[in-house]
Amino acid sequence: MPIDLSGQPRVGLGHWPTPLEDCPRLTEALGGPRILVKRDDVNGLGVGGNKLRKAEFLLGKALAEGADTVITFGAVQTNHGRQIAAACARLGLRCELVLTRSVPMSGEAYERSGNIALDGLYGAHVHVCDTPEQAGEVYDKVVAAARADGRKTATFPVGGSNGVGVLGYVAAVDELHTQLDGTKVNRIVVAVGSAGTAAGLAVGIALLDWPVVLDGQCISHTAGESLADIRRLAGEVSDVLGTPVGDLAHVQVGDGAVGPGYGVPTAEMWEALRLFARTEGITLDPVYSGKAAAAVVAGVRSGAIGADETVVFLHTGGLPGLFAYAPELVRSSENQP
Ligand SMILES: *Cc1c(COP(=O)(O)O)cnc(C)c1O
The reply to whether 133 and 252 lie within a common domain is: no
* pTM for the structure as a whole: 0.97
Q: Indicate which residue's Cα is closest to atom 1 of ligand 1.
A: 159
Q: Is 220 in the pocket of ligand 1 (CB under 6 A)?
A: no
Query: 180 and 141 in one domain?
Result: no
Q: Using a 6 Å cutoff on CB, does residue 191 contact ligand 1?
A: yes
Return the ligand 1 atom nearest residue 196 CA.
Answer: 7
Alpha helix positions (H), the chain = 24-30, 51-64, 79-91, 108-112, 115-121, 132-148, 167-180, 196-208, 223-241, 267-280, 289-302, 319-324, 326-332
Q: Using CA atoms, how far apart are residues 90 and 62, in angstroms rounded to an integer?
A: 14
Asked if 107 and 220 sit in the same domain, the reply is no
Instruction: Report the CATH number at residue 257.
Output: 3.40.50.1100
Task: Residue 185: name the closest of 214, 208, 206, 207 by CA.
Answer: 214
Q: Do residues 64 and 37 lie in contact, with contact meaning Cβ atoms separated by under 8 Å?
A: no
Identify the bridge partners of residue 125 per DSSP, sorted by sequence position: 96
| Ligand 1: nearest atom to the Cα of 195 | 9
Q: H helices within 181-318, ranges in order?
A: 196-208, 223-241, 267-280, 289-302
**Selected residue with higher pLDDT from 336 and 318:** 318
d(CA 102, CA 44): 28
Let me know if residue 6 belongs to a domain. no
Tell me, yes or no, whether 198 lies in a domain. Answer: yes
Could you report the per-residue pLDDT of 101-127, keeping only the tens digit for each? 998 888 999 999 999 999 999 999 999
Residue 159 Cβ contacting ligand 1 at under 6 Å: yes
Residues of 210-228 as b/e, b for ≥16 C-beta within 10 angstroms? Answer: bebbbbbbbbbbebeebbe
Is-contact 269 257, C-beta < 8 A?
Answer: yes
User: Hey, what amino acid is at 136?
Assistant: G
247 Cα to the center of ligand 1, angstroms: 23
Pocket flag, ligand 1, residue 115 (CB < 6 Å): no
Atom of ligand 1 minimally distant from the CA of 194: 8
- Residue 3's pLDDT is 87
Q: Mean pLDDT in the chain?
A: 96
pLDDT digits (tens, 9 = 90+) for 7-62: 999 999 999 999 999 999 999 999 999 999 999 999 999 999 999 999 999 999 99
Mean pLDDT for 250-268 is: 97
- Pair (208, 315) in one structural domain: yes
Count of the separate structural domains present in the chain: 2
Verify whether ligand 1 is closer than 6 Å to residue 288 (CB atom): yes
Query: 269 and 185: one domain?
Result: yes
Q: Ligand 1 mean position to 288 CA, how many Å?
A: 6
Residues in Cβ contact with 330 at an 8 Å cutoff, skipping those fewer than 6 apart? none
Q: Is residue 9 part of a domain?
A: no
Whether 289 lines ligand 1, by a CB cut-off of 6 Å, is yes
State in Å: Cα 145 to ligand 1 middle. 30
Q: Which atom of ligand 1 is nearest to the CA of 191?
A: 10
**Ligand 1 center–CA 150 separation, angstroms:** 33
Distance in Å, CA 217 to ligand 1 centroid: 11
Residues 113 and 72 in one domain: yes
* pLDDT score of 337: 62
